Amino acid sequence: MRSLNLALQVNKRALPLIIALFAVCSQLFAQSQEVLFFPDSRSTRIKSMDINADLVKYQVANDQLGQFYNILKSDIMMAIYPLGTYHIYSDAKKDLVSVAYASGTNNKIDKLVTKDKKVIAANITDISMGKVNYKDLKSGNPTSVNTSNLYMILYKDGKYQMYAAADEVAKALNVVSDEIKGMDNSLATGNFQNVSLNTNTGSSTTTTNSGSNGDNILDEGMPNVKKEEFEEKALAKTKELEDYLRLIANKNTKFQKANEAIDAAVKLFIDENRVMEVSSKNRSVVNKYKIRTYFEKLKLLKYDDVRVSWSDISYVSNIRKGEDGNYYGIVTLQQKFEGFIDGSLVYTDVTKKNMTVILKTYDKYVVGEKQTLWDVYLGDIGVVQTD
């Protein structure tokens, strides 16, 4: 009995150490791994993650069966996948905000997220004894910060280190995401003049004093926007609209979710007066609807099932500057429409369409300084031919 009591006393004394060790291991679990955090702060390592218009599909790491799980975007607090990109659910935007913190445009900058929810652009030289030594890329001076004053380090190679609970880190990243997206490698080369902040998810960032970088600049009077960047953003918006169309048309989509998809799709356009042309093999007239009206009609079509898919999406062509100072281009695509009743295909057509894409600039004042930013929006969508 004495031996048993002694063993229990030893176990009691060891329990705090075991708990502390478990806490440390739990923290280390996510430091440089692809991981998903749920709203209750549970976490799981993942080996794949795919984000669509409404759901997130993921696979758990080390799952021999390779099973896929589907959850709502709102059921994710934070995810890091792949390394170099994090995703945060934003209550304000009702969507996941994705930030590539080690992309080709900012992959020379370590980022220190501080407890006062600021981001230090740094070149880390050493971390030891609870202190991060680094060169401040804005001032050019060597300095240091205690890890107790940090939420997170986002390394330029895509790895990361968390110094607080996941829910606290997620809240901080929600605040500073625009600042992180606005950083570019000109900081690392000492050219801080060319760095600006971002206000829209996924939008590109520029300043008006960027100067010439060669033939890829659309215009000397525009921000430093390359033609390739315009095309990439335009095609991303085109793909996003396709995802919303599928969600709206799908009869299995709940009514409220379809309405949310309509609102999100409308926001892709430069304004609600943009027109969608609609054709049919059964009539010669091409109908024209404002985009919100078109989406509402698509949601209420009298089929048991509707499928809309796009293919042969071209790069942006016919880029030109409008009188309003915006840049306009055309994306051409094939749209396939299928309507089913009682499981049988009763109508299908393939329509060639031209979609107008618009590069628009806007100004934002950051710490009293005006920054000129840009994003791409959709315009009118016209019918070219229906088969």
pTM over 0.95: no
Question: Which pLDDT score, from 0 to 100, does residue 132 have?
Answer: 92
Collapsing DSSP states into helix, strand and coil, what is residue 169?
A: helix
What are phi and psi for residue 309, nearest 5 degrees?
Answer: -140, 155
pLDDT at 144: 94
Highest mean pLDDT range out of 15-19, 195-199, 294-298?
A: 294-298
Chain segment 299-335, per-residue pLDDT in tens: 998 888 888 888 887 778 888 888 888 889 898 988 8
Tell whether the model's pLDDT for residue 178 goes beyond 80: yes
Q: Is the pLDDT of residue 28 over 50?
A: no
Closest CA to 303 of 261, 252, 266, 353: 252
Instruction: Write out the H or E segment, with its range, that includes residue 333.
Output: strand 327-341
Q: Are the C-beta atoms of residues 249 and 308 closer than 8 Å to each other?
A: yes
Residues 8-15 have a mean pLDDT of 48
pLDDT recorded at residue 215:
42
Statement: residue 122 has pLDDT above 90 = yes
Residue 189's pLDDT is what? 64
For residues 58 and 68, what is the distance between their CA atoms, to the nearest angstrom?
Answer: 6
How confident is the model over 19-47, as a mean pLDDT? Answer: 68
E strands, 6-67, are 35-37, 43-51, 55-60
Q: Which residue has better confidence, 161 or 192?
A: 161
Beta bridge partners of 97: 88
* CA dist., res. 310 & res. 238, Å (int): 10
Please give the pLDDT value at position 244: 87
Q: Look at strands 160-162 and 275-280 and give their pairing.
A: unpaired
pLDDT tens digits, one per residue of 212-240: 333 444 554 455 677 778 888 888 888 88
pLDDT score recorded for residue 201? 34
Residue-range domains of the chain with CATH: 227-386 (3.10.450.50)
